[in-house]
Structure 1
Amino acid sequence: MALVADKPLNYALRENMRVVSALVVRSAISRFGESRFGFVWILLEPAFYIGVYIMAHTVMRASMPFGDSAVLFILAGIFGFRMSRGVARKAETAIAHNLPLLTYPLVRPMDTIVSAFLLEATIWLIICALFILGLSYALDRTIIAYPGELTTCLLAIFFFAFATATFNATVGALVPRYMMFVNMLNMPLMFISGVFFLPSSFPPELQWYISWNPFLHCVEWFRMATYLDYHPVLDKSYLLAVSTILLTVGLTLERLLRNRIINA
């Protein structure tokens, strides 16, 4: 009886994996199939931010925020923010970009989110590895002080990105213009997430206010894994709690209002 009962579940899991795999391939083709420079452009984005920061840093003759390398400081900030917001931004539009596919019984809204998330997470892991290895070669030293902490940080960042994408994708499918509001926050969020400044240099009162921004904790966690003696404004429990709440709400909305989302 147990084998009979398990068979439908195993079959459903295999079918779901096939659907997600097909969606990943479809997303990759639509992302890079039409242009050979698609991946190069993604590589240029972090390089652009680094270049602008170094140029401004040189012109203003500002002191080093932390450490002995402005490139390393800004690189850690960019990846702390972009790996969370960049992955979430692509995955949260998955439902809207795949609405015709949702008419097929096997394809569910969550399948589109999962597939987009897997593709973007893989892309950003590759980009992060390339920049870390390249900077390590340029500086002729190891630039990740705590590899184990970096692994934990990346898992937390991707958990937060997936939770944010799930919440925004479901709410965006239900509330008109919600995604327009979210997209307007991209640039302000980058500036208040500690990418270009040292959060611990702020007064305690201001640190308290900016610590409500979960993206700040992604940036600070990444920097903590990078430097030996970095003192972050970081609350790991807060980041994980926010991620859990967003994911729970998003999954609940998707399950209860699935038909409404498909027909949106």
Structure 2
Amino acid sequence: MNIATWNVNSLRLRLPQIINWLLINNIDILCLQETKTPDDKFPYDAFEEVGYKSYFYGQKSYNGVAIISKYEALEVSYGLKDYDNEQKRVISITIKNNISIRIICIYCPNGQSLESNKFIYKRQWFNKLNEFLVEELLKYPNLILLGDYNIAPTDADVHDPNIWKNTILVSDEERSFFKELINIGLYDLFREFKQPSSLFSWWDYRNLSFIKNKGLRIDHILASKSIVNLCKSCFIDKTPRKNKQPSDHTPVLINLEIN
């Protein structure tokens, strides 16, 4: 089973790219972030025509998450429990392919700067995410958390740690948010495998950042221990970042061996 995450930075602009990539890579489940698409405008039919169900939670111009799946969802839920938040950042489904798997797609706040009100929101949001996941793990032992976390968890995930030191996405406090997710029993699947150095999932559009590989690894797939045991690979596919009018992010994929 091939499962992936991709911040597409506008579903409307990149729909043909997304469908083409889905089919070429035989993706079973794709989590999308920054769809920037209200629910009544979601291109459900376009995905259905190529064999996929769509589950979505969106808004106009900002945020928005979706899960595109070959499997029909047994359950669908929206947002974080007990958190009144107008920003559409979380959607969860349960699917079954011999085993039941909980798929949670997240678009975490950026935070803007460490001194801003948006960073206070980021701190609060991650606290709520942590509380939510503690409960989810009790209910769903086979759990995968995919998305744009807006955190580079270690210096190995940053093209130049000295330049980024104590800045947004790379600060010690944000890294502590990520570590808290690991501490509740999740595993960074990318780091479960030997990886080449300087692999990133996001590059700024400016200053030839992609060509110079000045990026960050901020898109992650975390999973419960039972999923780690099924995971055969995790990698970053840079190919879509070479497209004409690409997203500034590129997909991260895992392959699960499920009999």
Q: Same fold (TM over 0.5)?
A: no
**More helix as a share of residues:** 1
Normalised by the size of structure 2, how large is the TM-score? 0.28
**More strand as a share of residues:** 2
